[in-house]
Structure 1
Amino acid sequence: MLPMIRDDIKQATVQAMKAGEKQRTAALRLIAAKIKDRDIEQRTSGKDVGDDDLVIEVLQKMAKQRRESIQMYEDGGRDELAQQERDELVVIEEFLPQTMDEAQTMAAIESVKADLGATSIKDMGRVMAELKSRHGATLDMAKASGWVKGALA
Protein backbone atom coordinates (compact mmCIF):
# COMPACT_ATOMS: atom_id res chain seq x y z
CA MET A 1 0.00 0.00 0.00
CA LEU A 2 1.28 3.48 -0.88
CA PRO A 3 1.95 5.86 1.98
CA MET A 4 -0.73 8.51 2.18
CA ILE A 5 -0.12 12.23 2.45
CA ARG A 6 -1.88 12.22 5.82
CA ASP A 7 0.76 9.78 7.16
CA ASP A 8 3.57 11.91 5.74
CA ILE A 9 2.17 14.94 7.59
CA LYS A 10 2.01 12.99 10.88
CA GLN A 11 5.61 11.81 10.48
CA ALA A 12 6.80 15.32 9.62
CA THR A 13 5.02 16.66 12.72
CA VAL A 14 6.79 14.16 14.98
CA GLN A 15 10.16 14.95 13.36
CA ALA A 16 9.61 18.71 13.72
CA MET A 17 8.65 18.30 17.37
CA LYS A 18 11.75 16.19 18.09
CA ALA A 19 13.95 18.72 16.29
CA GLY A 20 12.41 21.59 18.29
CA GLU A 21 11.20 23.41 15.16
CA LYS A 22 8.39 25.41 16.74
CA GLN A 23 7.15 27.24 13.61
CA ARG A 24 7.18 24.09 11.47
CA THR A 25 5.40 22.12 14.20
CA ALA A 26 2.74 24.83 14.48
CA ALA A 27 2.20 24.86 10.70
CA LEU A 28 1.94 21.06 10.56
CA ARG A 29 -0.53 21.02 13.46
CA LEU A 30 -2.59 23.65 11.64
CA ILE A 31 -2.66 21.43 8.56
CA ALA A 32 -3.71 18.42 10.66
CA ALA A 33 -6.50 20.45 12.29
CA LYS A 34 -7.84 21.59 8.89
CA ILE A 35 -7.78 18.01 7.64
CA LYS A 36 -9.65 16.84 10.75
CA ASP A 37 -12.28 19.58 10.20
CA ARG A 38 -12.68 18.41 6.60
CA ASP A 39 -13.01 14.77 7.77
CA ILE A 40 -15.88 15.74 10.06
CA GLU A 41 -17.50 17.78 7.29
CA GLN A 42 -17.07 14.80 4.94
CA ARG A 43 -18.79 12.35 7.31
CA THR A 44 -21.90 14.51 7.49
CA SER A 45 -22.03 15.19 3.73
CA GLY A 46 -22.24 11.52 2.78
CA LYS A 47 -19.97 11.99 -0.26
CA ASP A 48 -17.10 9.56 -0.63
CA VAL A 49 -13.77 11.18 -1.54
CA GLY A 50 -10.43 9.38 -1.62
CA ASP A 51 -8.22 10.19 1.36
CA ASP A 52 -5.36 11.73 -0.61
CA ASP A 53 -7.85 13.71 -2.71
CA LEU A 54 -9.42 15.11 0.45
CA VAL A 55 -6.03 16.04 1.92
CA ILE A 56 -4.86 17.62 -1.36
CA GLU A 57 -8.08 19.64 -1.55
CA VAL A 58 -7.48 20.95 1.99
CA LEU A 59 -3.83 21.75 1.24
CA GLN A 60 -4.69 23.55 -2.01
CA LYS A 61 -7.26 25.68 -0.22
CA MET A 62 -4.79 26.50 2.58
CA ALA A 63 -2.08 27.40 0.04
CA LYS A 64 -4.47 29.70 -1.81
CA GLN A 65 -5.44 31.42 1.45
CA ARG A 66 -1.76 31.92 2.35
CA ARG A 67 -0.98 33.45 -1.06
CA GLU A 68 -3.89 35.89 -0.69
CA SER A 69 -2.82 36.77 2.86
CA ILE A 70 0.79 37.36 1.79
CA GLN A 71 -0.42 39.80 -0.86
CA MET A 72 -2.66 41.64 1.59
CA TYR A 73 0.05 41.86 4.27
CA GLU A 74 2.62 43.10 1.76
CA ASP A 75 0.18 45.71 0.46
CA GLY A 76 -0.42 46.80 4.05
CA GLY A 77 3.28 46.98 4.90
CA ARG A 78 3.05 44.12 7.43
CA ASP A 79 6.20 42.29 6.35
CA GLU A 80 6.53 40.17 9.52
CA LEU A 81 3.03 38.74 9.04
CA ALA A 82 3.67 38.19 5.33
CA GLN A 83 6.84 36.26 6.24
CA GLN A 84 4.92 34.08 8.69
CA GLU A 85 2.41 33.25 5.94
CA ARG A 86 5.28 32.51 3.52
CA ASP A 87 6.81 30.12 6.06
CA GLU A 88 3.48 28.29 6.44
CA LEU A 89 3.06 28.18 2.66
CA VAL A 90 6.44 26.46 2.28
CA VAL A 91 5.34 23.73 4.70
CA ILE A 92 1.96 23.32 3.00
CA GLU A 93 3.50 23.09 -0.49
CA GLU A 94 5.85 20.33 0.70
CA PHE A 95 2.90 17.93 0.75
CA LEU A 96 1.18 19.05 -2.44
CA PRO A 97 1.89 17.12 -5.62
CA GLN A 98 3.90 19.02 -8.23
CA THR A 99 1.52 21.18 -10.25
CA MET A 100 1.42 20.91 -14.02
CA ASP A 101 3.29 23.58 -15.97
CA GLU A 102 1.70 25.60 -18.77
CA ALA A 103 2.65 23.15 -21.54
CA GLN A 104 1.29 20.15 -19.61
CA THR A 105 -1.88 22.06 -18.75
CA MET A 106 -2.44 23.11 -22.37
CA ALA A 107 -1.96 19.49 -23.49
CA ALA A 108 -4.52 18.35 -20.91
CA ILE A 109 -6.97 21.04 -22.06
CA GLU A 110 -6.58 19.97 -25.70
CA SER A 111 -7.09 16.33 -24.72
CA VAL A 112 -10.28 17.12 -22.80
CA LYS A 113 -11.54 19.35 -25.63
CA ALA A 114 -11.03 16.52 -28.11
CA ASP A 115 -12.64 13.90 -25.85
CA LEU A 116 -15.71 16.06 -25.20
CA GLY A 117 -15.92 17.53 -28.69
CA ALA A 118 -15.84 21.00 -27.11
CA THR A 119 -15.64 23.80 -29.65
CA SER A 120 -17.09 26.98 -28.16
CA ILE A 121 -17.03 29.01 -24.98
CA LYS A 122 -20.42 27.44 -24.13
CA ASP A 123 -18.52 24.20 -23.42
CA MET A 124 -16.26 25.84 -20.85
CA GLY A 125 -18.14 24.46 -17.82
CA ARG A 126 -17.96 20.89 -19.14
CA VAL A 127 -14.27 21.22 -20.01
CA MET A 128 -13.42 22.69 -16.59
CA ALA A 129 -15.37 19.97 -14.77
CA GLU A 130 -13.61 17.23 -16.73
CA LEU A 131 -10.20 18.86 -16.21
CA LYS A 132 -10.84 19.01 -12.49
CA SER A 133 -11.91 15.37 -12.31
CA ARG A 134 -8.88 14.20 -14.31
CA HIS A 135 -6.16 16.54 -13.03
CA GLY A 136 -7.62 18.39 -10.03
CA ALA A 137 -4.76 17.52 -7.69
CA THR A 138 -2.00 18.69 -10.03
CA LEU A 139 -3.68 21.61 -11.78
CA ASP A 140 -3.84 25.28 -10.87
CA MET A 141 -7.53 25.74 -11.66
CA ALA A 142 -7.31 29.55 -11.58
CA LYS A 143 -4.71 29.62 -14.36
CA ALA A 144 -6.37 26.75 -16.23
CA SER A 145 -9.63 28.70 -16.37
CA GLY A 146 -8.04 31.49 -18.42
CA TRP A 147 -6.29 29.00 -20.70
CA VAL A 148 -9.51 27.04 -21.29
CA LYS A 149 -11.28 30.30 -22.16
CA GLY A 150 -8.50 31.10 -24.64
CA ALA A 151 -8.57 27.60 -26.13
CA LEU A 152 -12.33 27.71 -26.67
CA ALA A 153 -12.56 31.28 -27.96
Structure 2
Amino acid sequence: MRDQFSEGLKTALRARDQRRTATLRAITAAIQDRDIAIRQENRGPATNEEILAIIQKMVKQREESFAIYAQAGRADLATVEKEEIDILNEFLPKGLSEAEVDAAIVAAIAATGAEGAKDMGKVIGQLKADYPGRIDFGKASGKVRAALS
Protein backbone atom coordinates (compact mmCIF):
# COMPACT_ATOMS: atom_id res chain seq x y z
CA MET A 1 0.00 0.00 0.00
CA ARG A 2 2.86 2.36 0.76
CA ASP A 3 4.00 2.14 -2.87
CA GLN A 4 0.50 3.05 -3.97
CA PHE A 5 0.63 6.26 -1.92
CA SER A 6 4.10 7.26 -3.07
CA GLU A 7 3.23 6.67 -6.73
CA GLY A 8 -0.02 8.57 -6.30
CA LEU A 9 1.83 11.44 -4.69
CA LYS A 10 4.36 11.59 -7.52
CA THR A 11 1.56 11.62 -10.08
CA ALA A 12 -0.32 14.34 -8.20
CA LEU A 13 2.81 16.47 -7.93
CA ARG A 14 3.48 16.15 -11.68
CA ALA A 15 -0.14 17.04 -12.45
CA ARG A 16 -0.01 19.96 -9.98
CA ASP A 17 -3.16 18.63 -8.32
CA GLN A 18 -3.02 20.48 -5.02
CA ARG A 19 -5.96 18.74 -3.33
CA ARG A 20 -4.71 15.23 -4.15
CA THR A 21 -1.15 16.19 -3.16
CA ALA A 22 -2.27 17.56 0.20
CA THR A 23 -4.47 14.53 0.91
CA LEU A 24 -1.76 12.02 0.00
CA ARG A 25 0.76 13.92 2.12
CA ALA A 26 -1.69 13.75 5.03
CA ILE A 27 -2.00 9.97 4.57
CA THR A 28 1.77 9.57 4.44
CA ALA A 29 2.21 11.70 7.56
CA ALA A 30 -0.40 9.69 9.47
CA ILE A 31 1.31 6.44 8.49
CA GLN A 32 4.68 7.81 9.58
CA ASP A 33 3.18 8.85 12.93
CA ARG A 34 1.85 5.32 13.37
CA ASP A 35 5.25 3.85 12.44
CA ILE A 36 6.91 5.99 15.11
CA ALA A 37 4.39 4.87 17.72
CA ILE A 38 4.91 1.24 16.74
CA ARG A 39 8.69 1.60 16.87
CA GLN A 40 8.40 2.38 20.57
CA GLU A 41 6.69 -1.00 20.97
CA ASN A 42 9.67 -2.68 19.25
CA ARG A 43 7.64 -3.84 16.23
CA GLY A 44 8.12 -3.37 12.52
CA PRO A 45 6.32 -0.78 10.39
CA ALA A 46 2.53 -0.52 10.24
CA THR A 47 0.78 -3.41 8.53
CA ASN A 48 -1.67 -2.97 5.67
CA GLU A 49 -4.54 -3.57 8.11
CA GLU A 50 -3.28 -0.74 10.32
CA ILE A 51 -2.92 1.51 7.28
CA LEU A 52 -6.51 0.70 6.26
CA ALA A 53 -7.66 1.64 9.76
CA ILE A 54 -5.80 4.95 9.50
CA ILE A 55 -7.47 5.77 6.19
CA GLN A 56 -10.90 4.76 7.52
CA LYS A 57 -10.38 7.06 10.48
CA MET A 58 -9.42 9.89 8.15
CA VAL A 59 -12.56 9.31 6.07
CA LYS A 60 -14.74 9.32 9.18
CA GLN A 61 -13.16 12.60 10.37
CA ARG A 62 -13.78 14.23 7.02
CA GLU A 63 -17.36 12.98 6.88
CA GLU A 64 -18.01 14.59 10.26
CA SER A 65 -16.43 17.84 9.08
CA PHE A 66 -18.41 17.69 5.85
CA ALA A 67 -21.67 17.38 7.80
CA ILE A 68 -20.76 20.30 10.06
CA TYR A 69 -19.76 22.54 7.14
CA ALA A 70 -22.86 21.62 5.14
CA GLN A 71 -25.09 22.36 8.12
CA ALA A 72 -23.36 25.70 8.67
CA GLY A 73 -23.85 26.65 5.02
CA ARG A 74 -20.13 26.64 4.20
CA ALA A 75 -20.33 25.02 0.78
CA ASP A 76 -16.72 25.95 -0.02
CA LEU A 77 -15.32 24.03 2.95
CA ALA A 78 -17.81 21.18 2.49
CA THR A 79 -16.62 20.78 -1.10
CA VAL A 80 -13.00 20.48 0.06
CA GLU A 81 -13.93 17.79 2.58
CA LYS A 82 -15.97 15.88 -0.02
CA GLU A 83 -13.07 15.93 -2.48
CA GLU A 84 -10.73 14.56 0.20
CA ILE A 85 -13.23 11.83 1.10
CA ASP A 86 -13.36 10.79 -2.56
CA ILE A 87 -9.55 10.65 -2.77
CA LEU A 88 -9.28 8.62 0.45
CA ASN A 89 -11.98 6.19 -0.68
CA GLU A 90 -9.89 5.34 -3.75
CA PHE A 91 -7.46 3.54 -1.45
CA LEU A 92 -10.05 1.62 0.57
CA PRO A 93 -11.35 -1.76 -0.52
CA LYS A 94 -14.89 -1.79 -1.85
CA GLY A 95 -17.35 -2.04 1.02
CA LEU A 96 -19.87 -4.84 1.31
CA SER A 97 -23.51 -4.25 0.47
CA GLU A 98 -26.20 -4.62 3.14
CA ALA A 99 -27.07 -8.12 1.92
CA GLU A 100 -23.40 -9.14 1.88
CA VAL A 101 -22.94 -7.81 5.43
CA ASP A 102 -25.97 -9.79 6.60
CA ALA A 103 -24.61 -12.95 4.96
CA ALA A 104 -21.17 -12.34 6.48
CA ILE A 105 -22.72 -11.96 9.94
CA VAL A 106 -24.62 -15.25 9.56
CA ALA A 107 -21.44 -16.99 8.39
CA ALA A 108 -19.39 -15.52 11.27
CA ILE A 109 -21.98 -16.63 13.81
CA ALA A 110 -21.89 -20.15 12.37
CA ALA A 111 -18.07 -20.19 12.26
CA THR A 112 -17.66 -19.07 15.87
CA GLY A 113 -20.55 -21.09 17.25
CA ALA A 114 -21.93 -17.97 18.91
CA GLU A 115 -25.15 -18.51 20.81
CA GLY A 116 -25.92 -15.26 22.60
CA ALA A 117 -24.97 -11.68 23.27
CA LYS A 118 -21.99 -12.80 25.36
CA ASP A 119 -20.39 -14.14 22.17
CA MET A 120 -20.69 -10.84 20.30
CA GLY A 121 -16.95 -10.13 20.61
CA LYS A 122 -16.10 -13.44 18.93
CA VAL A 123 -18.37 -12.66 16.00
CA ILE A 124 -17.02 -9.10 15.55
CA GLY A 125 -13.46 -10.46 15.76
CA GLN A 126 -14.24 -13.02 13.08
CA LEU A 127 -15.74 -10.33 10.83
CA LYS A 128 -12.70 -8.08 11.31
CA ALA A 129 -10.41 -10.95 10.39
CA ASP A 130 -12.41 -11.99 7.33
CA TYR A 131 -13.38 -8.54 5.98
CA PRO A 132 -10.77 -5.96 7.04
CA GLY A 133 -11.78 -2.49 5.97
CA ARG A 134 -14.86 -3.64 4.11
CA ILE A 135 -17.49 -3.41 6.86
CA ASP A 136 -18.57 -0.42 8.95
CA PHE A 137 -18.39 -2.07 12.36
CA GLY A 138 -20.37 0.73 13.99
CA LYS A 139 -23.41 -0.35 11.98
CA ALA A 140 -22.55 -4.05 11.92
CA SER A 141 -22.41 -4.36 15.71
CA GLY A 142 -26.12 -3.53 15.95
CA LYS A 143 -26.92 -6.17 13.36
CA VAL A 144 -24.76 -8.73 15.18
CA ARG A 145 -26.48 -7.91 18.48
CA ALA A 146 -29.91 -8.34 16.83
CA ALA A 147 -28.88 -11.63 15.23
CA LEU A 148 -27.59 -13.02 18.52
CA SER A 149 -30.62 -12.08 20.60
Q: Same fold (TM over 0.5)?
A: yes
Which of 51, 62, 65 aligns to 1:66? It is: 62
Q: Is 1:25 matched up with 2:37?
A: no
Please report how far the alpha carbon of residue 49 of structure 1 lies from its aligned counterpart in structure 2 after TM superposition. 7.6
8 Å CA contact retained: 2:108, 2:126 = yes
- The corresponding residue for 2:81 is 85
Q: Is 1:148 matched up with 2:108?
A: no
Which of 100, 104, 111 aligns to 1:108? It is: 104
- Farther-moved stretch of structure 1 (48-57 vs 28-37): 48-57
8 Å CA contact retained: 2:101, 2:135 = yes
8 Å CA contact retained: 2:52, 2:133 = yes
Matches of 2:45 and 2:124, distance apart in 1: 19
Q: Give 2:89's aligned amino acid.
A: E
Please report how far the alpha carbon of residue 48 of structure 1 lies from its aligned counterpart in structure 2 after TM superposition. 6.1
Q: Give 1:85's aligned amino acid.
A: E
Q: Give 1:103's aligned amino acid.
A: A
- The corresponding residue for 1:51 is 47
- The corresponding residue for 1:15 is 11
Matches of 2:90 and 2:36, distance apart in 1: 24
Q: Unaligned 5+ residue runs, structure 1? A: none
Q: How many residues align?
A: 149
Return closer, same or farther for 1:47/1:134 CA change in 2, 3 Å cut-off: farther
Return closer, same or farther for 1:67/1:18 CA change in 2, 3 Å cut-off: same
Percent sequence identity is 40
State the TM-score, normalized to the length of structure 2.
Answer: 0.91
Please report how far the alpha carbon of residue 91 of structure 1 lies from its aligned counterpart in structure 2 after TM superposition. 0.8
RMSD: 1.7
Q: Give 2:55's aligned amino acid.
A: L
Matches of 2:66 and 2:72, distance apart in 1: 10
1:49-79, CA deviations, whole angstroms, 9 ceiling, x for partnerless residues? 8622121111111111111111111122222
